[in-house]
Amino acid sequence: MSARENILARLRRSPAGAPAPLPDVGAWFAARRSDDREALIERFKTHIRAARAEVHDTDAAAWPELLLNLAAAKGLRTLLVGKGTRHGAALAARPQDAVSIIAYSQPAANWRDELFDDIDAAVTTARSAIADTGSLILCPDAQEPRLMSLVPPVHFVLLDARAIHADLHAAMTAENWAAGMPTNALVISGPSKTADIQQTLAYGAHGPREVIVLLCRDGVEL
């Protein structure tokens, strides 16, 4: 018997040990959370602003006018909305001169040049958010494709303040991801950024250079 076979034989004869108990992850996170909803919101705002995103408090009635005013102040000419979305219809119903509302109504290949060259900004919804990291959770679908939050230089995000969770574990638990995990969940913390070997930080290299969160305190009809 070779040395290798001898070692393997001894391993096979040794009694199997009991499996190590699984850690109680839920209890660990729960012990570190607070029930203070206002503190949770402020923590989210602090962290996402640290990543150079804008946050504006608003409500279900005022957000369309706020968004259009912000777009006009930034000199944005075109705003992309999801086809058939309620918030897209709410924006299109507002009379405006400075900003044109464009619906994402065709495959990207059919209007690639216009999408990449002529769209100044897009507005999408966020499924929820994470306070501890100042992150937005987006779930792109047929109405709001991934390119809406990736291609335009400016990304407006509608967020229901009631959907802010303390951490990713809390979000996954509250939204029951175990029973129906999103097929394309995106966790976004501020605008796109990169740095070269000299540590010079540049924004907008691989996505939007600006992320603007409209935080609806009383929810928003999506």
Q: What is the pLDDT of residues 143-159, one digit of tens each?
A: 999 999 999 999 999 99
Ordered alpha helix ranges (H), the chain? 3-13, 25-30, 37-50, 63-73, 86-92, 112-117, 168-174, 177-180
Q: Which pLDDT score, from 0 to 100, does residue 101 have? A: 93
Q: Burial code of 84-111, b = ≥16 C-beta within 10 A, e = fewer?
A: ebebbebbeeeebeebebbebeeeeeee
Q: Which pLDDT score, from 0 to 100, does residue 197 have? A: 77
pTM of the model: 0.85
Domain locations in the chain as residue ranges: 36-216
Most confident of the following: 63-72, 89-98, 185-194? 63-72
Fold of domain 36-216: Rossmann fold (3.40.50)
